[in-house]
Amino acid sequence: MRRSAAALPLTLVAGAMFLACTDIPTGTDDILSFQLNTLPSPSVVVGDTLRDTTGVVAPLTVTAFNYDNEEVEGITARFRALDARVRVDSVTGVVIGDTVSTTASRILATFEGFTAFLNVPVTLRPDTIVPANDRDSLAYSLTDTTANLSNALGVRVLHGLTTQDSAVQFYRVAFEVVSPADTALARLVNDSRVRSTADTTGSDGVATRRLRIDVSRLTAALDSVIVRAHVRYRGQHVRGSPMRLVLKLKPK
């Protein structure tokens, strides 16, 4: 005996309608998600193009994924700046900074109905670094290893004279331990004690890193750790870079 649709269980009716009306994409080129990739550097310098950390011009890029979470190749996105502080080539994604602002500029990327946004700060041109606690000491403990973390050592990145409005914000500073040679004795970390060899300048132009000391590797009771801070613009060191930062070690 045939049963009418009205007599079928509701779940079967709903399932049949879903299968009849929904076409789930399964092709390798069918896009599920679309994103603007992370900036090649934290900011674009006013009057210049966006560059990577080596100083090479670096356009914005996008990534799309299919339903298997695989990257889809050959995406030709279009770009548009949403305010007048930056310009962006709609095809190549090359960004130019026009006006310095504490508010990051938004850039829109589109592709076949997909959209993505990214914030791009515009900062002053860096030309000088000065110390921001370049000399400090740590009274280390042989029993309480959690205490063997230094204060923040760092530099301040400036444009022109040493005034508050000359601070270069959103700029990358790289740090390296140059002495001692034992890389496990002193490790650069951020404020969360996670290993990190670079920082981005804040509103005051300062970038810092701390040192985590493994006292079990000390060969003398009194010692010191020497760090270099590097700031480059267009691949070249600015005035004062690299800067020498020193942490003296002594027992409690």
Q: Hey, what domains does the chain have and what are their CATH numbers?
A: 24-123 (2.60.40.1080), 128-251 (2.60.40.10)
Single out the residue of 98, 100, 99, 82 nearest to residue 169, CA to CA. 100
What tokens appear for 69 in the block? 């979470």
- Residue 74 to residue 201: CA distance in whole angstroms: 35
In the chain the beta strands, taken as DSSP E runs, fall at 31-36, 44-45, 62-66, 71-72, 78-81, 86-88, 95-97, 101-111, 114-123, 128-132, 135-140, 153-158, 172-179, 186-189, 198-200, 206-213, 223-230, 232-233, 236-237, 243-251
Helix (H) or strand (E) holding 12: helix 10-21
Which class for 73: exposed (0-12), middle (13-18), buried (19 or more C-beta within 10 A)? exposed
- Residue 177 to residue 187: CA distance in whole angstroms: 8
Return mean pLDDT, the chain.
Answer: 89
β-bridge partners, 153: 209
Q: Inform me whether the pLDDT recorded for 27 exceeds 70.
A: no
Give the mean model confidence (pLDDT) for residues 210-215. 97
Q: Give start and end residues of each alpha helix (H) in 51-164.
A: none
Q: Are 245 and 229 in contact (CB under 8 A)?
A: yes
Q: Are 175 and 199 in contact (CB under 8 A)?
A: yes
Give the mean model confidence (pLDDT) for residues 48-71. 93
Q: Inform me whether the pLDDT recorded for 248 exceeds 70.
A: yes
What's the whole-model pTM score? 0.85
Q: Cα 126 from chain centroid?
A: 18
Give the mean model confidence (pLDDT) for residues 171-178. 98
What tokens appear for 118 in the block? 């990214």
Name, in order, each residue with C-beta under 8 angstroms of 107's C-beta and a sequence gap of 6 or more: 36, 60, 79, 80, 81, 82, 86, 88, 95, 117, 118, 119, 120
Q: What pLDDT, on a 0 to 100 scale, did the predictor assign at position 23?
A: 58
Q: Inform me whether the pLDDT recorded for 212 exceeds 90.
A: yes
Name, in order, each residue with C-beta under 8 angstroms of 59's C-beta and a sequence gap of 6 or more: 50, 89, 92, 93, 94, 95
Q: What pLDDT, on a 0 to 100 scale, did the predictor assign at position 58?
A: 97
Instruction: Report which of residues 163 and 77 the model is more confident about.
Output: 77
Single out the residue of 145, 14, 43 nearest to residue 102, CA to CA. 43
